[in-house]
């Protein structure tokens, strides 16, 4: 079977696919290129047609859904209709184009949709980890299974997904996701504010979604063109940024040990996990808790989420990784990200 996965990131759209153990697609397309010509994404996919399945850019996620069944309501559930965020606008445009073209696209759940996460942990949460973070977990399960020759249902780890924009921390016990801190419900990322003090939110009143893409470690430096690599090379020069970034990840991982008390490993993925200084600092701080390492992968160019999306797609079709899909209980995912709000005195606009 020929399957590919797509990961829509803040810096790039990544693609990974295989057929019969052979890599058929492994590439990354920069977001500025997509902004100039969104059809470049469709052209990237077309060059490996025919395909049995594409795990598409699922945003905040849905219970497993075919693209032909997507209406404007489901699209907005996955990706907010917020013109202030170019990435969201681009993803929505690509989904509509793929739907028009009849691409065999499947959308997959975020952490909030999974029945393996206790309901009380979902209270007043929407982002416990987007669909691409669930894809990263699928890759990590395969990696740990192959490394230690254990069953999918024996895997146990805390995954820290450290991206250019957002950080997320996901807890896995017995092959199931049991808890998650998403990019907007955990600590600050390199460019993003993460969770927001409720008092600050009240005083801000209404604000555009693009605000969430500010207030992170980069802004703490007061250097507009600071890169994460430069921050990591000169941590003393950018001490506030370095401490904000490192402590955000550490606090998220330590908080997750409440839900996963004895993880076999702490696994790192995402663009910033490949910066040696960041990986080394986290390893030194976390080694008393568990072994720390980066997730193993086959892709040379595409990010972890794209390869994990391929794994989920292949498993949904009943292939080699069906056991990973079953362990994660992805087919049992249900509901919406609005189902667990218990706040009173506020109206939430639902799609």
Indicate if the pLDDT at residue 11 is higher than 90: no
- pLDDT at residue 82, as a whole number: 85
Task: Find the mean pLDDT for residues 263-276.
Answer: 97
Q: Given this model, what pLDDT does residue 85 score?
A: 83
- Largest pairwise CA distance in the chain: 55
Give burial (CB, 10 Å; 0-12/13-18/19+) of 289.
middle
pTM of the model: 0.97
Q: Helix crossing, 276-286 with 239-256: angle to 10°?
A: 50
Query: Is the pLDDT confidence value at 90 over 90?
Result: no
Q: Round to whole Å and give the CA distance between 16 and 14.
A: 7
Query: Is the preceding peptide bond at 81 cis, omega within 30 degrees of 0?
Result: no
Rounded average pLDDT over 124-143: 98
Q: Which domains does the chain have, with CATH numbers?
A: 2-332 (3.30.420.40)
Tell me what the pLDDT averaged over the chain comes to: 95
Rounded percentage of the chain residues whose pLDDT exceeds 70:
100
Phi, psi of 26 (to 5 degrees): -155, 95
- pLDDT band (50, 70, 90) for residue 195: very high
Token pair for residue 317?
């079709």
Mean pLDDT of 166-185: 97
pLDDT band at 207 (very low <50, low <70, confident <90, very high): confident
Q: Which of 260, 256, 264 is nearest to 144 (CA)?
A: 264
């Amino acid at each position: 079977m020929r399957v590919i996965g797509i990961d829509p990131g803040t810096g790039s759209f990544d693609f990974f696919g295989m057929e019969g153990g052979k890599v058929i697609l492994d590439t990354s397309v920069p977001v500025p290129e997509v902004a100039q010509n969104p059809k470049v994404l469709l052209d990237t996919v077309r060059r490996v047609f025919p395909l049995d399945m594409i795990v598409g850019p699922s945003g905040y996620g849905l219970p497993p859904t075919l693209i032909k069944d997507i209406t404007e309501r489901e699209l907005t559930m996955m990706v907010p209709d917020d013109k202030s965020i170019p990435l969201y606008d681009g993803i929505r445009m690509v989904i509509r184009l793929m739907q028009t073209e009849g691409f065999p696209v499947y959308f997959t759940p975020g952490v909030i949709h999974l029945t393996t996460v206790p309901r009380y942990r979902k209270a007043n949460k929407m982002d416990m980890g987007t669909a691409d973070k669930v894809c990263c977990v699928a890759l990590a399960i395969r990696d740990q299974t192959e490394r230690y020759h254990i069953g999918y249902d024996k895997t146990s780890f805390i995954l820290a997904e450290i991206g250019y924009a957002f950080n997320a921390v996901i807890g896995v016990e017995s092959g199931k996701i049991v808890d998650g801190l998403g990019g907007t419900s955990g600590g600050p990322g390199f460019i993003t504010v993460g969770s927001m003090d409720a008092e600050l939110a009240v005083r801000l009143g209404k604000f555009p979604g693009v605000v969430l893409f500010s207030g992170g470690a980069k802004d703490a430096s007061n250097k507009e063109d600071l890169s994460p690599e430069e921050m990591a090379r000169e941590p003393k020069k950018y001490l506030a940024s370095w401490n904000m970034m490192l402590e955000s990840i550490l606090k998220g991982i330590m908080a997750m040990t409440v839900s996963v008390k004895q993880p076999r490993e702490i696994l790192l993925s995402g663009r910033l996990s490949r910066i040696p200084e960041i990986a080394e600092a986290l390893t030194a701080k976390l080694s008393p808790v568990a072994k720390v390492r980066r997730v193993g992968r086959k892709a040379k160019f595409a990010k972890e989420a794209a390869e994990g999306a391929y794994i989920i797609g292949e498993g949904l079709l009943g292939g080699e990784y069906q056991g990973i899909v079953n362990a994660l209980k992805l087919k049992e995912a249900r509901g919406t990200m609005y189902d667990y709000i218990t706040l009173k005195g506020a109206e939430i606009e639902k799609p």
